Structure 1
Amino acid sequence: MNEDIFLKVDNYISNLLGQEDKALTDTIASLDNENIPQMSVSANLGKFLQVLMISCNAKRVLELGTLGGYSTIWMARALPENGKLISLEIDKRYADVAKKNIENAGLAQKVDIRVGKALDILPDLIAQNDEPFDFIFIDADKPPYTEYFDYAIKLSRPGTLIVCDNVVREGKILDENSQDEKVRGVQRLNESLKENKNVTATIMQTVGSKEHDGMVIAVVNRID
């Protein structure tokens, strides 16, 4: 099958149901202007995150990996008036760009961007013993994906949805001998889900403007 059809269908869906306004297109443009890699989710997947959030009545959201704030904007727009989104970003320059984009979208009051290593910040979030998150989106560096997921469960409640992006990597996960640390990181997460009794999970393949990839979609059953 001609792979161009995947892009055309993705664009069809995005134009029909995931239209980008100026705040979103400005966010994408800001990445090029600031020499930040274009690694944001597609518009179609941004809308998909919104649908998932609405399905679990998400009021508190945690995001790992802010980049320029594109996915952050999609998710923050699905929050109720009293909703809150905390986004973790290791790169201060990326976080500064994201803050401007989020302010431009009129969402600054709903979004709290915290700068630093997620593996340092996540234990602090647990120690604060605040309300659990209803929805968690993991789209950060891939080697510690399993550790991120384990922390996500501890910050959840039964019924919380956890989504992890980029876990198929154009099918490279099938290579058991891969030396790519990103591939090995998601392989480790994917394998761990098989025996993880705390969640009911699956992996959904995605194709389109972001080529061939996939997402883990997991609902928390219990917190051990």
Structure 2
Amino acid sequence: MKPLEQDDNWIAVDEYLTDRLVEDDPALAASLKDSAKAGLPPINVSPNQGKFLMLLAQAIGARRILEIGTLGGYSAIWLARALPADGRLLSLEADPAYAELARANLARAGLAEKVEVRVGRAQDTLPELIAEGAAPFDLIFIDADKPSTPDYYQWSVELARRGSLIVVDNVVREGRVIDAKSDSPHIQGLRRFFDLAAADSRVSGTAIQTVGAKGHDGLAILRVTAD
């Protein structure tokens, strides 16, 4: 870990950038407040990261978005706001209480008609999407339990099309992702994901480290290049 004063500087820079580039938004602020009140873990993306996801979805003209891991709906609000009038977001959440809160937060943001929050283990609901013919999605955001990331990634490629983007959050874990001997299922899950992505001829990707209010972490971005 970096010294505490460096961590404080990361937070200060995040606040500076947010103050200048991320608009105040009562619905987003309320979603964080209600999530904290309900006891949800504070693991949502930061405001800067949320707006990055929105801009990314807008840049590729996404009309259908899949999110794996809803939590309180904070990132879902950002993603849904990138969609055109007829666009749709499907968000998968294992915890019924989290899903209920997310639906309330999305409704307050005026997005209830654009977003479906589906309850169930993603390992179960992702195959269901294949069976339903729900594919393809233009952008898929994976932000759920890290040990299952390899499975989520493999299903996501199946649910994508050529040109779709797959974004995977929290892939650096304070640099611990490089520890091949780690006994953490989170680290080993992410390492298996990177091994799969590196060997997958259907995608082209990269990953970047990030520092800020969420500490030292990072995200991977992969573009599907073949059907």
Q: How far has the Cα of 1:45 moved from its partner?
A: 0.2
Amino acid at match of 2:112: A
Q: Secondary structure at the match of 1:169?
A: coil
Q: Hey, what's the Cα distance between the residues in 1 that align with 2:215 and 2:193? A: 21
The answer (yes or no) to whether the contact 1:19–1:43 under 8 Å persists in 2 is: no
Deviations 1:83-114 (CA, angstroms, capped at 9, x unpaired)? 00000000000000101100010100000000
2:150 to 142, 146, 163: 146
For residue 117 of structure 1, what is the aligned residue in structure 2? 121
2:17 to 7, 13, 22: 13
- Structure 1: any 5+ residue segments left out of the alignment? none
1:85 aligns with 2:85: no
For residue 29 of structure 1, what is the aligned residue in structure 2? 33
Q: How far has the Cα of 1:19 moved from its partner?
A: 2.5
Q: Hey, what's the Cα distance between the residues in 2 that align with 1:194 and 1:97? A: 37
For residue 226 of structure 2, what is the aligned residue in structure 1? 222
The answer (yes or no) to whether the contact 2:92–2:120 under 8 Å persists in 1 is: yes
Amino acid at match of 1:125: L
Q: How far has the Cα of 1:131 moved from its partner?
A: 4.3
For residue 139 of structure 2, what is the aligned residue in structure 1? 135
Q: Secondary structure at the match of 2:70?
A: coil
Q: Secondary structure at the match of 1:158?
A: strand
The answer (yes or no) to whether the contact 2:129–2:135 under 8 Å persists in 1 is: no
1:103 aligns with 2:107: yes
1:176 to 170, 175, 180: 180
Matched residues, number:
223
The percent of aligned pairs where both chains have the same amino acid is 46
Q: Hey, what's the Cα distance between the residues in 2 that align with 1:200 and 1:157? A: 13
Is 123-132 or 38-47 further displaced after alignment?
A: 123-132
Q: How far has the Cα of 1:65 moved from its partner?
A: 0.3
Amino acid at match of 1:16: R
Q: How far has the Cα of 1:158 moved from its partner?
A: 0.5
The answer (yes or no) to whether the contact 1:18–1:46 under 8 Å persists in 2 is: no
- Structure 2: any 5+ residue segments left out of the alignment? none
Q: CA RMSD in A?
A: 1.1
Is 6-15 or 166-175 further displaced after alignment?
A: 6-15
Q: Hey, what's the Cα distance between the residues in 2 that align with 1:43 and 1:130? A: 30
Q: Secondary structure at the match of 1:79?
A: coil
Q: Secondary structure at the match of 2:212?
A: coil
Structure 1-normalised TM-score? 0.97
Is 25-34 or 38-47 further displaced after alignment?
A: 25-34
Amino acid at match of 2:209: Q
Q: Hey, what's the Cα distance between the residues in 2 that align with 1:13 and 1:192? A: 34
Q: Secondary structure at the match of 1:67?
A: coil
1:44 aligns with 2:43: no
Q: Hey, what's the Cα distance between the residues in 2 that align with 1:12 and 1:190? A: 32
1:94 to 92, 98, 106: 98
Deviations 1:19-73 (CA, angstroms, capped at 9, x unpaired)? 3411111111112211110110000000100111012110000000000000000
Q: Hey, what's the Cα distance between the residues in 1 that align with 2:98 and 2:21? A: 28
Amino acid at match of 1:191: D
Deviations 1:155-208 (CA, angstroms, capped at 9, x unpaired)? 111000100000000001121111111111111111222211110011111110
Q: Hey, what's the Cα distance between the residues in 2 that align with 1:17 and 1:167? A: 25
Is 5-14 or 90-99 further displaced after alignment?
A: 5-14
Q: Which runs of 4+ in 1 moved over 4 A?
A: none
